[in-house]
Structure 1
Amino acid sequence: MALPRVLRCCPVALWALLLFGSFIVGLTYNSATLQEGLAMVNKYRELFFIPVLMGFVSTERFRYWLWNAFIIASIATLLGSSLMDAGVLELNKLGDPCFKSRITHSIFIAFFAFFCAHKAFQEQRYRPLYLIAMAFCLYNLFFVVQGRTGQLVIIGLALLFAWQRFNGKGRLLAIVVIASLLALFVNFSDKTSRLKEGIENTQAYLKPVPEQVDSSMGLRYGFWKNSLILMSGKPLLGYGTGSFTKEYQRLVGDKAFATTNPHNEFLMIGVQLGVLGVLVYVGFLWSQFQCARQLAKPEKWLAQGLLLCLLVTSVFNSPFLDHAEGHWFAILIALCFAPIYKPGVPLCKDSPPISRPSLCRH
């Protein structure tokens, strides 16, 4: 019953529903089977969950409990990873010390580190606990799991945090400290193999005659190139919902590794729904940027950090296509932007930032 008012009050909810609707419209002209198309619609159902969840977390009380659930789940994820690394628990099927893939794990932990950093500034009573949790996250990201996507996300979030919390001199100092720590890590740590491998793969792929095209980054660049070729064939509306796998296989044949995921959300949407679909996704991202400005601090800062996390992840992965990432982003987007929706009182464009009690009161 709350859905119509949620859509009127919060552009993020409206754009999420428009994007989900675009996938449904794409069923009418897809080159794949109806079953494949419906399976893809089901993959992106998290977009529909965003406006629905906003109606359920419209009150501060519910958001308070959900934020605490986020903290508990994140700590449990960190502890599980540490126990796997220590040999107490078995590694996952990929041989990594985390419950899901290292990509998924690193994204979750990077945002939790950003969350803890803000809470350390905000909550004086629990500041030592949040600082310990943040240090635990950073150690896990760079010395235990080493997901490159999460490492890029945390670097971006660290710079964003400095911009949000410090003045001009503080921001400059933060940049120097971050750059120095990264330089020390790259030059003196024995845990940089994945990072160096990514740089070497990129350099090899960019040569006139590409080398190491079968590496993880080389394959990914090939996915992006072939996806752009597909988009050029039907640029406006794409090939329809669920068509990516079939069209990619048709393009590459037996010459190269056929994928079901280009590891880029923009390209995944672009091949299926064309430029119009990509514009809807950009509108969804832009609405988050605009709505974040209407929130009061610290909700504003967390929403901005989540948007940056989604942007970086969308470049190197397809977060809403993936099950764990899709549900995680849907819940946190609803949680971050739900304060804009106030039952019975729609927020007009000229309203001042919403004044809300601090998150996760203790």
Structure 2
Amino acid sequence: MSAILAAEQAARRRVQIRNNMQHPSPPSLGSTAAPVGGRIERIARQTLLLAAFSIPFSTALANLFAGLTLIAFVAALLGDRSLARALRTPAALLALALLALVLVGATWSVAPPDEVQDGMRKYAKLMVLPLALCLCWRAPALPARVLYASLGGCAVLATSLYLVWLDSMPTSSLGWWRVGDMSDPYAFRNHITIGILLSFAACASFLLATYAQGTRARLALLGVGVYFGAPILMGNGRTGYVGLFIGLFALYLLRGRVTFLRSALVAAAMSLLFAGVYMVSPNVKTRMDLLVTEVSQNDATTPNGLRISFMKTGVQAVAARPLLGYGTGSFSEVYAPEAQRIWGASPETARVRHQPHSEPLLLAVQLGVPGVALYFALLGAIGKAALARRDPMADALALLLAIFGLTSLFNSLLWDPTEAYWFLLLAGALYGHCIRQRATAQ
């Protein structure tokens, strides 16, 4: 009797195995049973890491490795369609929807054809987020490696700034990178980009220190954070000062015991700290005093007066055409009459093509309310995923979103190549970690 039962069980197992082979069930999003990918997909992951490392200091290398990642991803996707399953997640859908609106916006743009094409190229970088997401959501270790690769690239950038102050930074005879001096310290990137990238790198290092187990590791990460943060305060970029302030306060909200009184005290303490830096740092004092002077003079020929002019013209343009805006790449054309009024006596200056140094305003002028709605919906989807978990990578995503989202109010960060690549790649990778963890928990 037992032999008969054993034979029946063996027959049922053979039937089950045959059915599974004929009709395999697809891996669920975030499942630890998902395949880790073949050789081509692993190549795409390696080039993604190289892109994350290169972004802080080399546009050419970042473009090269991003392009190679896209090529390898498409090749891997042809062999494994499940790789694209993460495209159904909210952040990926919203990024692609915003890109689609940019492409459709070209049909009603008032800009010249070359500027329409330039606008489409600028926002084509939105593909980086779903690309990084698809490569990271089923590779548990990859999001952290992307973060560390980005911090490694920021270490190259910060070290270059220290070499500038020591008058030891090499220059390129071919003009491949730019180098400042002690009075105007910069290397590879401009002040705005340096400030944004290093403010996140500093605060991310402090964040990782709060998770470190040993005292030595915690002190080492704190030291790394200071190494990243010092060039911001010693440099000339006001965006970096703001980004560092935002990042430190966001770090408190993520890792501290939050109460209204405690938050007020922390904000006051940080304000006093920055006031002290203002008093002792010649660069900080000079830049902030110049900001106050230019704003009070309301002179559109000064850098900060020009920003105010951008804001006024942009708000007026949005009020005139709020539904669909003026089309992709249209801001410089919309601003052209104001530029002619300001610099009529200088034809070369009057013909400069401008953007308003505010991502929401730039999208509103080009694509109206739908463009701005999609932008903030994208940030909201990323933030929702980041706050759903409490671990180092999810907190790093929340920190990234806080710094990028708030500094984008007065900088066109998706329009600018370095900041866009940096944010979209990091956000896609860390978002992949968050949705994987959430799906596994369910």
TM-score (norm: length of structure 1): 0.87
CA distance 1:249–1:89, change in 2 (3 Å): same
1:277 CA drift (Å): 1.1
Which segment drifts farther, 20-29 or 291-300? 291-300
1:129 corresponds to which of 220, 241, 245: 220
Which residue in 2 is equivalent to 1:239?
Answer: 326
1:158 pairs with 2:238: no
1:43 CA drift (Å): 0.7
Inter-partner Cα distance in structure 1 for 2:434 and 2:281: 44
2:146 corresponds to which of 61, 66, 80: 66
Which residue in 1 is equivalent to 2:115?
Answer: 36
Larger Rg: 2
Inter-partner Cα distance in structure 1 for 2:415 and 2:130: 18
Paired amino acid for 1:324: T
SS of 1:23's equivalent in the other structure is helix
2:188 corresponds to which of 95, 99, 104: 99
Q: Contact (CA 8 Å) 1:223, 1:259: kept in 2 or not?
A: no
CA distance 1:76–1:214, change in 2 (3 Å): same
1:28-64 alpha-carbon deviations (Å, 9 max, x no partner): 2112244432221111112111111111122122223
1:4 CA drift (Å): 4.8
Q: Contact (CA 8 Å) 1:3, 1:51: kept in 2 or not?
A: no
SS of 1:44's equivalent in the other structure is helix
Q: What percentage of residue pairs aligned between the two structures are identical? A: 25
Which residue in 1 is equivalent to 2:297?
Answer: 204
Higher relative contact order (CA 8 A, sep 6+): 1
CA distance 1:259–1:3, change in 2 (3 Å): farther
CA distance 1:33–1:173, change in 2 (3 Å): closer
CA distance 1:289–1:65, change in 2 (3 Å): closer
Paired amino acid for 2:118: A
Which residue in 1 is equivalent to 2:231?
Answer: 140
Paired amino acid for 2:209: A
Matches within 5 A, 1:282-297: 282-297=376-391
Q: Contact (CA 8 Å) 1:24, 1:41: kept in 2 or not?
A: yes
Q: Contact (CA 8 Å) 1:152, 1:312: kept in 2 or not?
A: no
SS of 2:288's equivalent in the other structure is helix
Inter-partner Cα distance in structure 1 for 2:438 and 2:322: 38
Inter-partner Cα distance in structure 1 for 2:365 and 2:250: 32
Number of equivalences: 340
1:271 corresponds to which of 343, 365, 389: 365
Unpaired runs of 5+ in structure 1? 206-211, 355-362
Inter-partner Cα distance in structure 1 for 2:438 and 2:210: 31
Q: Contact (CA 8 Å) 1:54, 1:341: kept in 2 or not?
A: no
Inter-partner Cα distance in structure 2 for 1:187 and 1:266: 33
Which residue in 2 is equivalent to 1:217?
Answer: 304
1:308 pairs with 2:388: no
Which residue in 1 is equivalent to 2:86?
Answer: 6
Which residue in 1 is equivalent to 2:423?
Answer: 329
CA distance 1:296–1:90, change in 2 (3 Å): same
1:241 CA drift (Å): 0.9
Paired amino acid for 2:255: R
Unpaired runs of 5+ in structure 2? 1-80, 172-177, 344-349
CA RMSD of aligned residues (A): 2.3
Inter-partner Cα distance in structure 2 for 1:78 and 1:123: 23
1:119 corresponds to which of 208, 211, 228: 208
Which is helix-richer, 1 or 2? Answer: 2
SS of 1:180's equivalent in the other structure is helix
CA distance 1:57–1:154, change in 2 (3 Å): same
1:259 CA drift (Å): 4.0
Q: Contact (CA 8 Å) 1:31, 1:240: kept in 2 or not?
A: yes
1:23 CA drift (Å): 0.2
1:255 pairs with 2:342: yes
SS of 1:60's equivalent in the other structure is coil
1:24 corresponds to which of 95, 103, 109: 103
Paired amino acid for 1:279: A
CA distance 1:346–1:311, change in 2 (3 Å): closer
SS of 1:295's equivalent in the other structure is coil
Q: Contact (CA 8 Å) 1:32, 1:246: kept in 2 or not?
A: yes
Which residue in 2 is equivalent to 1:208?
Answer: none
SS of 2:342's equivalent in the other structure is coil
Inter-partner Cα distance in structure 2 for 1:250 and 1:335: 42
Which segment drifts farther, 156-165 or 318-327? 156-165
Q: Contact (CA 8 Å) 2:164, 2:179: kept in 1 or not?
A: no
Paired amino acid for 2:134: G
CA distance 1:248–1:179, change in 2 (3 Å): closer
